[in-house]
Structure 1
Amino acid sequence: MSGNGVWRFATAAAFVGLGWGTASAEPVSRDKVLAALPRLEAMAQQLVADRAVPGLAIAIVHEDQIVYLKGFGLRDTSKAEVVDPDTVFQIASLSKPIASTVVASLVSDGVVGWDTRIADLDPAFRLHDAYPTAELTIRDLLAHRSGLPGLAGNELEDIGFDRETVLHRLRLVPPSSSFRAGYSYSNAGFTEAGVAAARPTGKPWEEVSEERLYRPLGMNATSSRHADFLARANRAALHIDLGQGWEAKVTRDPDMQSPAAGVSSSARDLAQWVRLQLAKGSFDDERLIGAEALAATHVPLMALGTNPATGATSFYGLGWNVELGRHGLNWGHAGAFSLGSRTLASLYPDASLGIVVLTNAFPTGAPEGLADSFFDLVFDGTVSRDWGSIWGDIYGGLFGPAVAQAKAAYATPPTPPSPPLPLAAYAGHYRNAYVGEAQVAEAGGALTLALGPKGARTYPLSHFDRDLFLIFPDAEMPDRPSAIRFAINPAGKAETVTIEFLDDEHLGTLARVAD
């Protein structure tokens, strides 16, 4: 998982009735901000001491100045290397408001417009239906209102396909809603927006991001390329807990969806970006992005309903969550890799105040817990609720029910189980246009399934019942089973295979290719 799709919603019409002036934050004094810092620091230290996270970094900006910048804990639990303000983290979907800032720079300079059609920028890109393909704009994709189902493309990335292949195959995915009528958080769609917006420059997205944003702000540790992250000596490893405490067991290369989730950065660098946001496109008294172009990213376009922790009315803009909550207008976005990353930026523009929290673990509600507690201290002088526990439960529950359901479904084979056919009946070459090629091979009395380009991912199959086998495809949830189902023809040979973990959009059934 990469993203901030913890809650999902429908249209932005409700904002008209609310009005902007009904919940605006008052400016806050520097004294109130500074007074909250010792308590915030104590909470961060306690999180590390309690092993709630291996490490974290915090940056706070107030009235165009960085007033707090510090790291805590370890970059990697297997090493004695500490987190500092320059430690580089993979920020997952916190990349989205970074990306919309880059696109705002292109809009500001007239390279593209928010309503430039994708068909004019990237004529080869297609959605499932002709009308949305023709009318789709940058704004539509950045607001997650294209109709693309949220998970579409993620599964292709998981089995090793590159960006070009994934974006090309989105044309095969039926929409989850009518065009512009529903919100569906799509990493692949967001990625196409960034890639298409960069095309008039003749340069790749990663280079445009560097030239338009990272270099001008002095974000020297920030990149949209995974190779650059790996080249940093001072980088935070991803951590998951498989029952033995936090371990750096897995890695995540997000280059396929770089605009949506591929940024790596430090607390120090992200503080500069927060300054740019709060200063409405100016930086060190120089206009870098037109105020109007940047303001468009904060306009609520899709209603998200109610924030599950705070109760705030929530909307999605262009790469930003926009909320009217207990302390006023808030712009924010979270990031999460289920392979071991949690991040957050949360800004109160009327108070010229923002915080960034980066952590190297999943699941954890530490970023939101720290941010919400800090803002309570600044605005109210006291923490109103145990935000860390509230957000921890939300993130901790993201996969629990699904894992439990999958384990329960396949916990006990039928009694007695039906034996499989001779394994040669299942072995063979299968394909469809979306998943591509699959090879089921027999060796040593067992079956394996190879998927992805040139069989990049290989999974052993364990028999469950007759023509149903199980695999365990999730590195971060190694005990979560997924079904492989074969359909047998009258001749006693498998004619199709349905791969459950690739079938969310009902595109996971592959037909046998003639031997």
Structure 2
Amino acid sequence: MWSDLDSLVEASMQEWKVPGLALAVIQDGEIAVLKGYGVRDTGTGQPVTTDTQFLLCSITKSFTAAGLGLLVDERKLDWDRPVRDVIPEFRLHDPVATERLTLRDLLCHRSGLPRHDWVHQPGDLSGAQMLPLLRHLMPNRELRDAFQYSNLGYMVAGIVAERISELSWEDFIAERLLKPLGIEEFSFTIEALAAADNAARPHAMVDDECTRAPLWPIRTTAGGGINTSVAELAKWVGFLIDEGRVNGIQLLSPQALREMATPRVHMARSEYAEIGDSHYGHGLFCESYRGDRTLSHSGSWLGWGTLMTVMPTRRAGVVVLTNRAPSAVTSLLTYAALDQISGREPVDWFSRLVPKRRGFIDQQKTDKARREEKRCVGTQPSHALDEYAGSYEHPAYGRIEITSSHIGLAWRWRGLSGPLTHWHYDVFTTPDRPSEFYPDNLALTFLYDREGRIDRVAAPFEPQVSDIVFQRTPEPAQAAKAKP
């Protein structure tokens, strides 16, 4: 029955150059397919099995929402309780949002903040260290005005769970959800994944070639940090299908699950007639596929691509875990499996999506050429290079160190570093490192005061707001002179 899907998996992996993939299909509440394909690491050639652990990425958000639902069931928490009631030191830049933002707002991604992902993506700060930085992040919308995906928001939601449960988020999720579900093989850090006996390794694309990528940490753990296998995650899908029951016992109330599955914020409209408008609930995408309601969550990180989907009315679900990103394979296989489960004539998603993939590769080449066209050639920096050297700080984004040598300028920022290329005038750019977690081609614009001294550097770390401005810090000698 599932042989056609097997062939589609192989063809899709070949076309999108996916090294390894794990698949689970649940039909009528029972596992119909559970299988690993390809290799978990191109460096070793070891095969993917159903027990191979993957980084789940943002599928983790569904666990965080359910965990908070347990606390709501126990009347220790309310979805509409202001976050400040639980975390008194919580602050946003907007004082009104600071007082009014609720747990529901965090779970629905409607805080008014854009992603600001480069606050957490360097992986050098814990959640506790990032919490006081939120007050320095500029919003671009009003509270509850629009859906804006936020890993930092789920980090805060995880801290709410910690304050109420008096456990770390990791211990809380392990003891209250994972272990009762019978999920035994799991972890919460990239370091633990690296140490596992049967774990996949991530792979990124450089142009159209697949290459091994570094294991990069997710420190907003409640938003994306769970590692586990497809066999274990299938238990979570079964839990959602069974409306919060485990072995006949109601672990999470139907009311809490309805909160997760209720469309609350409009996300997007699909270009495909088969797929309904996307909304976000609590840790779940709420959509429809060919008339059937679906609940899902995808996940993406450097070299990882994942998707979990549940079709409640048919007691069905699909999990696709891959060690390659970006890729349309997770969606393609999910829709194909759902077509088979529902007994409908299958949509040829492969033929639809292959031209898009190839067009994307061609577009990358075009974009590189167009970027070069925007450069003002023949310009020079306004100052001698050594005058750009120094330390520049932002209260949330940290410190940028600029150094000068005979070969030019270089930058160092929160564990990342590299040479800077003069772009034009007082703009310098970072290197292009697509196989690493790195702010590729980031434009650093140096600014000066009315006396002509370089005193700031601006960078578009968050494209939805004005450039993040780092102020130059005084040199030790200057600081000493400034003391009374």
TM-score of the superposed pair, with normalisation by structure 1? 0.85
Asked if 1:300 is matched to 2:260, the reply is no
Moved more, 219-228 or 91-100: 219-228
Query: Can you list the C-alpha shifts for 1:326-382, whole angstroms capped at 9, x where unaligned?
Result: 141111111111x21111111110110111111110111111101101111222343
Structure 2 CA distance for aligned equivalents of residues 108 and 371 of structure 1: 32
Asked if 1:349 is matched to 2:312, the reply is yes
Contact 1:71 1:85 in 2 (8 A): yes
Q: Out of 253, 260, 266, which is 1:290 matched to? A: 253
Change in Cα spacing, 1:396 to 1:504, as seen in structure 2 (3 Å) is: farther
Contact 2:118 2:397 in 1 (8 A): no
Structure-to-structure mapping, 1:197-276, within 5 angstroms:
197-243=161-207, 245-254=209-218, 256-276=219-239
TM-score of the superposed pair, with normalisation by structure 2? 0.90
**Cα root mean square deviation, aligned:** 2.6
Structure 1 CA distance for aligned equivalents of residues 192 and 359 of structure 2: 30
Query: 1:171 maps to what in 2?
Result: 135
Structure 1 CA distance for aligned equivalents of residues 82 and 362 of structure 2: 40
Q: Out of 458, 467, 475, which is 2:426 matched to? A: 467
Query: 1:94 maps to what in 2?
Result: 59
Query: Can you list the C-alpha shifts for 1:401-454, whole angstroms capped at 9, x where unaligned?
Result: 6896566334685343325532121111222222222221123342221222xx
Structure 1 residue 200: deviation in Å? Answer: 1.4
Q: Out of 77, 89, 102, which is 1:124 matched to? A: 89
Structure-to-structure mapping, 1:39-438, within 5 angstroms:
39-50=4-15, 52-149=17-114, 151-158=115-122, 160-243=124-207, 245-254=209-218, 256-309=219-272, 310-337=274-301, 339-387=302-350, 389-390=352-353, 393=356, 397=360, 405=367, 408-410=370-372, 414-419=376-381, 421-438=383-400
Change in Cα spacing, 1:159 to 1:222, as seen in structure 2 (3 Å) is: closer
Q: Which runs of 5+ in 1 are unaligned?
A: 1-34
Contact 1:57 1:267 in 2 (8 A): yes
SS in 1 for 2:220: helix
Structure 1 CA distance for aligned equivalents of residues 28 and 187 of structure 2: 26
Structure 2 CA distance for aligned equivalents of residues 485 and 185 of structure 1: 27
Query: 1:28 maps to what in 2?
Result: none
Moved more, 202-211 or 102-111: 102-111
Structure 1 residue 235: deviation in Å? Answer: 0.7
SS in 2 for 1:72: strand
Structure 1 residue 492: deviation in Å? Answer: 4.2
SS in 1 for 2:198: coil
Structure 1 residue ranges (4+ consecutive) displaced by more than 6 angstroms after TM superposition: 399-403
Structure 1 CA distance for aligned equivalents of residues 86 and 66 of structure 2: 19
Asked if 1:486 is matched to 2:454, the reply is no
SS in 1 for 2:186: coil
Structure 1 residue 127: deviation in Å? Answer: 1.6
Structure 1 CA distance for aligned equivalents of residues 381 and 312 of structure 2: 64
Structure 1 CA distance for aligned equivalents of residues 8 and 422 of structure 2: 49
Q: Which runs of 5+ in 2 are unaligned?
A: 476-484
SS in 2 for 1:60: strand
Structure 2 CA distance for aligned equivalents of residues 162 and 406 of structure 1: 35
Contact 1:345 1:354 in 2 (8 A): yes
Structure 2 CA distance for aligned equivalents of residues 83 and 76 of structure 1: 9
SS in 2 for 1:61: strand
